[in-house]
Amino acid sequence: MAPEKELFPAQRVEAFCGDVLTKAGLSPEFAAIVTESLLCAELRGIQSHGVVRLETYIQRVEAGVMKMSATITTEMDAQAVALLNANNTFGQVAGYQAMKLAIDKARQYGTGVVAVKNSNHFGVAAFYAMMAQKEEMIGCVLTNSSPAMAVYGTKTPLIGTNPIAIAIPAGDHFPIVLDMSTSVVARGKIRYAALTGHGIPLGWARDPEGKPTEDAKIALKGSLEPVGGVKGSALSLIIDLVCGVLTDTILTGGVKTVTDMSGPAMTGHFFSALNVSKFIDMKLFKANVDQVVTNIKGFPPVDGGQIYMPGEIEFNLSKKRMEEGIPLDAEVVQSLNAVASRYGAAPL
């Protein structure tokens, strides 16, 4: 049986997260950024990066492996590039500042690249890519994550499901927003299959010997399959080298998952913004992106189904959830309220 879900108005969830975070010691400005990221995930239907993480983040702080509040420092700032140090505070705070800086740089230099070292889980990658898109730029965001996939040809999980998010402005249509992991599926889907006693399709994961498996429980002991096999493996490794090694944070394989309280997560991120208007008149660009979308939507769909552009399902869902509320598991609400009560915040 699926867990019971209750609908909560977005504003109520927003106020709750902001209240808990500020009472737990985060500045109102930073609390607003983290809250916006959590809400963005819930609205887009990415529950794994939503309010359920509020508890995890605070647990990390309580365990002494993450800083509630820290100043993001500048390690390097040179024309179109910069390297920020998150100093082990929220990935969202560092990510927001980094993408803002990348956008500023792109305004001046045409493009901006800002990397972040010593960071944490930063929520949904699309959040930052869309910051650039809202400024009429193309945003591209990468982050590394904890070992989940084996490098092609090996069987030991080393590289993360390291996502790529890209956002491109459009005119009347929704912006084009891709936010993809480099694995075929999220680990959560396999965990759910194992919990409910179901098998998994071949091609989702491998057993500890590196062989494809349909057994969810065995898959959890093995590794996730990279998207496109050797291609996704290479993409993930490259993201790891850019986010972990280029930022001098940690070697590939050293990032800790958000629920691993044994030490700092040592996450790294990469943000870039490209100033569209330097290349082409912005109106023409938007009109042409719109025309491409209109052309695609005019094609006959497979099996009479719907044709969705990258990000469209999430935009539709966000609109629906802004109007109707955000569905939350009773269990999640209970956990969140327990955290709130520890810091003297009102329950959800």
Touching its own copies, residues 8-67 (CB under 8 A): none
- Taking the CA atoms of the chain, what radius of gyration do you get in angstroms? 20
Among 247, 266, 326, 339, binds its own copies (CB under 8 A): 247
Instruction: Kindly state the smallest distance separating residue 75's Cβ from its own copies, in Å.
Output: 8
Q: How far is the CB of 316 from its own copies (least distance, A)?
A: 14
| Binding status of residue 192 toward its own copies by CB under 8 A | no
Kindly tell me the burial class for residue 7, based on how many C-beta atoms sit within 10 Å of its own C-beta (0-12, 13-18, 19 or more).
exposed
Judged by CB under 8 A, the residue of 198, 211, 319, 320 near its own copies is: 211
Nearest of 121, 70, 98 to residue 259 by alpha carbon: 121
Q: Which of 27, 73, 74, 154 binds its own copies (CB under 8 A)?
A: 154
Could you say which residues in the range 262-301 bind its own copies, by CB under 8 A? Answer: 272, 274-276, 278-280, 284-285, 288-289, 291-292, 295-296, 299-301
Write down the least CB distance from residue 144 to its own copies, Å. 12
Binding of residue 138 to its own copies (CB under 8 A): yes
Instruction: Judge whether 132 and 139 are in contact, CB under 8 Å.
Output: yes
Subset of 66-85 contacting its own copies (CB under 8 A): 76, 78-81, 83
| From candidates 3, 28, 197, 305, binder to its own copies by CB under 8 A | 305
Q: By CB under 8 A, is residue 149 in contact with its own copies?
A: no
Position among 28, 153, 262, 323 found at the interface with its own copies (CB under 8 A): 153
Contact 68, 92 (CB under 8 A): no
104: Cα separation from own chain's centroid = 22
Report the distance separating Cα 248 and Cα 346, nearest Å: 41
CB of 313 to its own copies, least distance (A): 10
Only one of the segments 13-21, 50-58, 172-180, 338-346 lies at the binding site for its own copies (rule: CB under 8 A); that segment is: 172-180
Of residues 22, 143, 213, 252, which one binds its own copies by CB under 8 A?
252
Distance between CA atoms of 99 and 183, rounded to whole angstroms?
25
Site string for its own copies, 98-127 (x = CB under 8 A): ----------xxxxxx-x------------
Read off φ and ψ for residue 302, nearest 5 degrees.
Answer: -65, 130
Size, binding site for its own copies by CB under 8 A? 76
291: how many CB neighbours lie within 10 A of its CB? Answer: 12
Give the residue among 36, 90, 258 at the shortest CA–CA distance from 161.
Answer: 258
Judged by CB under 8 A, which of 63, 307, 330, 338 binds its own copies?
307
**In this structure, which long-range contacts are made by residues 74-82, counting pairs with CB atoms below 8 Å and at least 24 apart in sequence?**
75/117, 77/101, 79/105, 79/109, 80/105, 80/106, 80/108, 80/109, 80/110, 80/111, 80/112, 80/113, 81/105, 81/112, 81/113, 81/114, 81/115, 82/112, 82/113, 82/114, 82/115
